[in-house]
Amino acid sequence: MRTPFDVLAEYERRSLAHAVVLPARETAPDQYRGVGYRVGKRRLISNFGDVVEIVPLPPMTPVPGAQPWLLGIGNLRGNLFPVIDLKQFLEGERTVLHEGQRVLVMRQPGGDVALTIDELYGQRSFSEAQQTDPGELAVGRYEHFIDRAFRSDEQDWGVFALSLLARTPEFRQAAL
């Protein structure tokens, strides 16, 4: 008499015998991959490891006595986290929020933080041969977070270090 476990083990053995093995997808060692987005006029890319998820702008509650770039406390699936206007933090100019607004959720010590962006481009890959000088991308406050850039289709993409942003004292202190 076969047990239910034996039946399931037989199903697994038969299905694995017919499984198609897909070729391994390898990233070239000289390739940089990340999430592409726009803040103001700058096209930026950040490491996948720094971005937890990309979601619509969550409902927010304003925080009295906070910096103007702290839009409020957002609630996503019962998790509370600050929502930061990244453009206002970096450039002093408020992001125009719109229907369908997206935020990058980044992990930092002490909890996740949502950052508003102007436009999401999704996954981007660049080879080392496409590396270029950051130039105008790393001007002003951006110079602290962008140390290299890539050129693709006549567009420059600055590598924006979200991990450095999370460790910036001014960013961590949102109270007035």
CATH number of domain containing 53: 2.40.50.180
**Three-class DSSP category at 112:** strand
> Residue 64 sits in which domain range?
28-172
Lookup: tokens for 136: 């105008």
**pLDDT at site 149:** 97
State residue 27's pLDDT score: 54
Q: Is residue 14 part of a domain?
A: no
16 belongs to a structural domain: no
Beta bridge partners of 38: 43, 119
* Cβ contacts of 94 within 8 Å, gap of 6 or more: 68, 85, 87, 88
Is 119 inside a domain boundary? yes
Residue 21 has pLDDT above 70, yes or no: no
**Bridge partners for 23 per DSSP:** none
CA nearest to 79, candidates 113, 117, 115, 104: 113
Specify the number of domains making up the chain.
Answer: 1
Contact in structure between 86 and 117 (CB atoms under 8 Å): yes
Confidence label for 20 from pLDDT (cuts 50, 70 and 90): low
Question: Is there a domain that residue 158 lies in?
Answer: yes
For 41-61, the pLDDT digits (tens) are 999 999 999 999 999 999 999
Q: State residue 111's pLDDT score.
A: 86
Kind of pairing, strands 131-132 and 146-152?
antiparallel
Q: Note whether residue 89 is domain-resident.
A: yes
pTM of the model: 0.80
Mean pLDDT for 126-155 is: 95
Indicate whether 3 belongs to any domain: no
Strands 102-108 and 111-116: antiparallel
pLDDT confidence bin for 116, thresholds 50/70/90: very high
Is residue 22 included in any domain, yes or no? no
The tokens for 19 are 């499984």
87 within a domain of the structure (yes/no)? yes
CA–CA distance, 104 with 53 (Å, rounded to integer)? 6
